[in-house]
Amino acid sequence: MTSTGRARGFIAIALLPALLLFLFFVIVPIFWSAYYGFFDWKGIGSAKFIGFGNYAEVIHDPVFWRSFKNNMLIVAASVFGQVPIALVLALLLLRNAWIHKFIRTSVFMPMVLSSVVVGIIWGYIYHPEIGILNFLLDRLGLASWKRQWLSDPSVSMYSLMVPIIWNYIGPYLILFLAALQNIPSEMDDAAKIDGAQGSRKLFSITLPLIWDTIKVAVVLCISGSLKAFDLIYIMTGGGPAHSTELLASYMYNNTFSIYRFGYGSAVSTTIILISLVLIAGSQYLMKRDNR
Amino acid sequence: MKKKTGALAALTLSASLALAGCGSGGKESGNANANNGQGDGKEKVTLSLWHNYTGDDQRAKTMRAIVEQYQKDHPNVELDIQAIPPDGYRTRLKTVAAANEMPDLFVMWPGVMTKEFQAGDLIQPINELLDSKTEWKNNFLPGSFDGFTIGSDIYSAPIALSPTSILYYNKSILDANGLQVPKTWDDLLKAVEVLKSKKITPIALGNKAAWLAQSSIFSSLADRVTGTEWFLKAASNDGAKFTDPEFVKALTYLQDLQKAGAFQDGFNALDNTQMEQYFAQGKAAMMIDGGWALTNLAATASQDAMSQMGAAVLPSIPGGKGDPNTLSGVVGTGLGMGKKVSGAKKQAAYDLLYAMAGPDAQKRVLESNQLVSYKVDLDKSKVTPIFAEVYALVNSVNRTPVYDGVLSSAVADEVNNGLQDLLMGGKPETIAKKIQDAQDKSTQSDKK
């Protein structure tokens, strides 16, 4: 009893510095920001308390809902794009031949590039004048497929999904590889003896064993997509005319381009609520009986 | 898992919140540490200076050279310089303003920014300095101090003049197609038609950042249609509204130009610099851009390309209420002085301000291909031919206001986005309505 008590005390002390930093820089600002959301404040001068005015405006703001819709597209693209692709790649690349290592490294590559670099690279790929994508379509005789990839609102969100998926497959691939390698080889042997093979083995043994990892990946994916900002900011800035605005870029523009700090804070608080709901929802849907 | 979920969610959002919290990278402005007993007997002073002269263009280099010279001449002054790239400069400055940690001297815009800083009690007037050097003060062009003046207090002296809507044209392309520089709207539409039929881009446009169409094309175009008086009334909610037919008409003109195919494909995905390069490479016959293009062109375009360039005002609009012989423009940035500067530090700040905005500096800036709002005889051998042409143009026409120089940030943002929408085919009436809504909201929150 005393020894566990001492261990607990030690754990508490060891955790304290990190916990304090986390509290101070992450938790406290969340409440702070929610509080600023109650004010009409330009960032300079005095702030005026206006109750739920900003929050009411958020709910009635068509641009906010447009950003929300765009952001849901990004969430969907990430959850149904990044996670399955990463999972399939992980299953294929489990072995350690040099070719597998090579592909793993290449898939992980974009992750070590700064997102500004990624944004600029893809900006050039989609460039209306010198873009390589339109150039290739031309050469392949598909000139009718050419588009203004980033400024035509009917395709721009989809154009933006490609680099976002491409950019973030890497970490999920690593996550899944680690999980797969953790499956004890006895399981494989047992499966072999029982005659489980191919898809049967995949769905009855492999996937259930890494299900927790998939859950974590989905949570990371949803939260990552809801704070997506950098690539969009570099490539379109949320434009033209808010057509590629996301929640985070909308919050940023309100706060730092037109200096409505109070309203921007209300938007960011709303983003928190939305992502909590989404993450809770996804966890509920993926719940499996652990009987 | 539950705990993890909460933590993850918190982490997610911390990024968005951190944005609001950080960014005040500015150092606490050093206090004048009375460190007497130095060799020269002068008081040791630390002065913080924030500027955005970070580029490779000639003006930026000139300004940096002036600051270096000042540093050499004033060994008792220690400068703490933050050079911030122009794109992020305003945001950084606003952030320290929100935290009430202004630098001692900083590049400041006239108009809305000066007003906001003054209202926040963050800056102090420099009348004392101006009045001690009357010759300098009187040599500024008329109206130079307007944007920096509140009541009888003047808060800065401009080091630049920015006409925003110059029609640059490529002489050889126009000549080759038998075209004149368009004087009227019909001329312009006809030129567009001719050039288009020959597969030449009539007008280069790079509107990714959204302010360009507003600042360069629309500010002048709308002024031609509505007249300056109407705009100032609408901006101050005094008997005119953005839903008025004349404003809708101005929007329609701009949309007609786009529908006629005046701009190259993907204009909403190019930025201002790319547009200038596009024009400089001879890929477009015209471009509507501000005076800031001159320093960029001087630094990047070839001699050959520059000798082909000419400058004019935007064409007149039939039946328009505005004076067609005008350019929209603003007096450029000057140096503002933080409220807390005093004593020996204030004297040093005055010296630096005079070094950077005084007669010598104005002359050197002008010779770096940057227009100034100050009477200087231009030595044409020191600048590019296109600069000399613009200089002559600016001195021969009147100046009209720029939309984002007058409107509050929120309304200007609505105009910017509205114009992007318009150029993608949005309805002028709907856009006018949205702009007026933003205007109503903005004046309402000011009154409260």
Q: At what angle do helices A132-139 and A115-125 cross, to 10 degrees?
A: 30
- Going from N- to C-terminal start, the domains of chain B cover 28-160+332-375, 163-329+402-447
The predicted pLDDT at position B447 comes to: 57
Q: What is the mean pLDDT of each run of 10 residues along chain B (448 residues)?
A: 42 42 39 41 83 86 94 92 86 86 93 87 93 92 88 93 93 93 94 94 91 93 93 91 94 94 90 90 93 84 87 92 90 92 91 93 90 87 88 89 88 93 93 94 72
CB atoms B9 and A223 under 8 Å: yes
**Residue spans per domain, chain A:** 62-285
Q: What are phi and psi of A218, to 5 degrees?
A: -65, -40
Give the number of beta-carbon pairs within 8 Å between A and B: 160
- Which of 1.20.140.10, 3.40.50.150, 3.40.640.10, 1.10.3720.10 is the CATH number of A62-285? 1.10.3720.10
Q: How many residues does chain B have?
A: 448
**pLDDT value at position B33?**
41
User: What pLDDT score does B42 carry?
Assistant: 65
Provide DSSP, B281-306.
TTSEEEEEE-TTHHHHHHHHS-HHHH
Question: ipTM of the assembly?
Answer: 0.80
Say what the pTM is.
0.80
In sequence order, which ranges of B358-408 are alpha helices (DSSP H)?
359-366, 385-396, 403-406
Contact B4 A216 (CB under 8 A): yes
Query: Could you write out the three-class secondary structure of B310-332?
Result: EEECCCECCCCCCCCCEEEEEEC
What is residue B17's three-state secondary structure? Answer: helix
Supply A140's token pair.
Answer: 């392949």
- Whether residue B269 and residue A29 make contact (CB cut-off 8 A), yes or no, is no
Residue of chain A whose alpha carbon sits nearest to that of B414: A241
pLDDT tens, A80-101?
A: 999 999 999 998 888 778 888 8
Buried b (16+ CB within 10 A) or exposed e, B8-25: bbbebbbbbbebbeebee
Task: Using a CB–CB cutoff of 8 Å, tell me whether A119 touches chain B.
Answer: no
Distance from CA of B167 to the nearest CA of A (A): 22
Q: Which of A45, A223, A253 sits opposite B120 (nearest CB)?
A: A45
The CATH code that applies to domain B163-329+402-447 is 3.40.190.10
**Which of A25, A26, A35, A44 is the mutation pick for testing B, counting most B CBs within 10 A?**
A44
Contact across the interface for B11 and A223, Cβ inside 8 Å: yes
| Identity of the residue in A30, A224, A260 whose CB atom sits nearest the CB atom of B410 | A260
Dist. CA A259–CA B349, nearest whole Å: 29
Three-state SS at A150: coil
Q: Compare CB distances from A40 to B17, B209, B445 and report the shortest one's residue.
A: B445
Same fold, B28-160+332-375 and B163-329+402-447: yes
CATH for B28-160+332-375, options being 2.60.130.10, 3.30.70.100, 3.40.190.10, 3.40.50.1820: 3.40.190.10
Residues of chain A with pLDDT under 50: 291
pLDDT at B16: 42
CB contact under 8 A, B20 and A26: no
Give pLDDT, residue A288: 66
202-221 in chain A: CB under 8 A from chain B: 212, 215-216, 219-220
